[in-house]
Structure 1
Amino acid sequence: MTSPNQKPPRPGAQSRDSRTAGDRTLSDAAYESVLAMIAGGEFAVGSKLPSEEVLSQQLEVSRPILRRALKQLREDGVISSRQGSGSFVMRRPEGVMLQFAPIGSIADIQRTFEFRAAIEGEAAYIAAQRRDENDLKRLRSALAELDRCVQAGELGVDADEAFHEAVCTASDNKYFLAARSSMKSNILTGMNLTRSLSMTKTKDRLALVQQEHYAILDALVAGDPPAAREAMRVHVLNARKRVFEGASL
């Protein structure tokens, strides 16, 4: 119901927020479609993507929507645009990513990694100042369980999540936990994806991931805030690279 002094919306009018949300959904879908074509080998590394006109027709989206999707691919380092020459494929993401990632989730997983690098990096920084022996005990317990999962060939998502939650708990700031909790389902989706992909590799990949976890623990034990922040950021951003850039690290 509108108030006496409030003008009713024009027929067919949309709020700016709803248009923005709709555009983002469409651009995310276009982003995932192009990413899938690159990961599937339809566009090889070094090759030129079709023109915006051709791609927008193929994907059935407007050119502004497509440009937003291509911008995200550039930011991810998957493609590069050359003035007057078009867009070229720079990296081929893991093809098996498409087998494990829920449909429509890839763009959100990307944003989740960005969120985690920022939030958990700062949580680790503060945790290095405030952690106590109980915090370190929880962290060591989570890593011991992850070690067991690696040796047994198990996924280990629960133990991985327990470790990251323990870092936030050690910060003694409930808002870090609240921030992670607000998008926990996305975080768990990302963890399932990264650990599932690592399971398709040799055990060396999972061992490398564990080394990153231990680097975080070592910095917390040493009470070194900058090292803890850096170790956490490196770990989270490396996880993102393994998925979206086909990195071997």
Structure 2
Amino acid sequence: MNLSDSQTAGVVPRRVSAMEAVLTHLRGAIERGEYAIGDKLPSEAGLCRALEVSRPVLREALRALQTMGLTVSKTGKGTFVVARAAADPTFGDYTAGDLLEVRRHIEIPVAGYAALRRTPEDLDHLLQLLERMERETDTASWVALDTLFHLAVAQAAHNPVFRRFIEEIRDALARQSAFLNELGGRREQSDREHRAIVEALADGSQPDAARAMSHHLDCVEATLTDIVRPAHAPG
């Protein structure tokens, strides 16, 4: 079974990575009950042979299964199924739901304050980050720039507490960003959302900046919802 080169159905198919294909296969097997709760998944070597993928690709898929709450990995023992349906993904110390709830209360007003308080230097820095993100093709590098972008918006609000908050959740934001880009193909859309935020800051419009950040977080939530819904769900 070769899962290394798949495409999604649709008017404009999005090429599915080998990791996504492996994840979909294993997730579907868990949701269908082919692996019951408590079962141990086959060894990495066995899965690599059966699915005809490399070990790094398989390990990424196994990490995604664990992020979605379907499995746990036990050092020296293997990977075990703990749930039939995906849960709220966990990124480091925080669930996606907890992150979004708090980010809405912090980052939306922060964007508004930044529109009122940003300096020319703040705008130049944000534009440089945005232009680098729009050119970047490496996912890991893009994710690093993504977290820097959100830190820069907080910095532009000129309240050190806001920046400290973003720094506190920075690791979780990076993990979530990587998850969304690998499984949701969010990079180009996210770049557009970030550009709308910067344009609102440049205009000095508090309402527009708040709306742009709110829209960005709405899109993050929608993509997360699409990823965690059952793999066999219609539509």
Q: TM-score range by the shorter chain?
A: 0.5 to 0.7
Which one of 178, 191, 201 corresponds to residue 192 of structure 1? 178
- Report the equivalent of 1:125: 112
Shift of 1:191: 1.5
Distance 1:102 1:43 in 2: 12
Deviations 1:20-44 (A, max 9, x none): xxxxxxxxxxxxxxxx9xx748779
Q: 1:114, CA displacement in angstroms? A: 2.0
Q: State the TM-score, normalizing by the size of structure 2.
A: 0.57
| Residue number among 138, 142, 146 corresponding to 2:125 in the alignment | 138
The corresponding residue for 1:171 is 157
Q: Deviations over 1:165-208 (max 9, x none)?
A: 1100000001111122222222222112112224xx4xxx5322
Counterpart of 1:241 in structure 2 is: 222
Q: Distance in 1 between matches of 2:200 and 2:66?
A: 32
Please, what is the CA RMSD of the aligned residues?
3.1
* Correspondence list, 1:51-130, <5 A: 98-99=64-65, 101=67, 106-107=89-90, 108-130=95-117
Native 8 Å contact 1:124 1:167 kept in 2:
yes
Normalized against structure 1, the TM-score is what? 0.54
Superposed CA deviations along residues 90-139 of structure 1, whole A, max 9, x for unmatched, are xxxxx999448375871512211222222111110000000011000110
Larger RCO (CA within 8 A; separation ≥ 6): 1
The whole-number CA distance in structure 1 between the counterparts of 2:187 and 2:199 is 18
The aligned counterpart of 1:85 is none
Per-residue deviation, 1:153: 4.8
* Structure 2: stretches of 5+ with no match in the other structure: 1-23, 39-60, 73-87, 229-235
Instruction: Work out the CA distance in 1 between the residues paired with 2:160 and 2:225.
Output: 31
| Residues 1:154 and 2:135 aligned together | no
1:223 equivalent in structure 2: 204
Contact kept? 1:117, 1:236, Cα under 8 Å = yes
Change (3 A) 1:125 1:98: same
Paired with 1:148 and 1:240, the residues of 2 have a C-alpha distance of: 25
Distance change in 2, residues 1:96/1:137 (3 Å) = farther
Q: Is the 8 A contact 2:111 2:209 kept in 1?
A: yes
User: Following the alignment from structure 1 to structure 2, what is the Cα–Cα distance between the partners of residues 96 and 221?
Assistant: 42
Q: Which ranges of 4 or more aligned residues in structure 1 deviate by more than 6 Å?
A: 41-44
Whether the 8 Å CA contact 2:126–2:153 is kept in 1: the answer is: yes
| Matched residue type, 2:121 | N
In 2: Cα distance, 1:96 partner to 1:239 partner: 22
Query: 1:235 offset after TM fit, Å?
Result: 0.4
What SS does structure 2 have at the residue aligned with 1:162? helix
Quick one: distance in 2 between partners of 1:219 and 1:142? Answer: 16
**CA distance in structure 2 between the partners assigned to 1:120 and 1:43 by the alignment:** 36
Bigger radius of gyration among the two: 1
Stretches of structure 1 that go unaligned for 5 or more consecutive residues are 1-35, 45-57, 60-94
| CA distance in 2 between partners of 1:117 and 1:100 (Å) | 26
The aligned length equals 155
C-alpha contact (below 8 Å) 1:97/1:243 kept by paired residues:
no
Q: How far apart, CA to CA, are the structure 1 residues paired with 2:66 and 2:131? A: 26
For 2:110, give the aligned amino acid.
A
Contact 2:139-2:181 within 8 A present in 1 as well = no
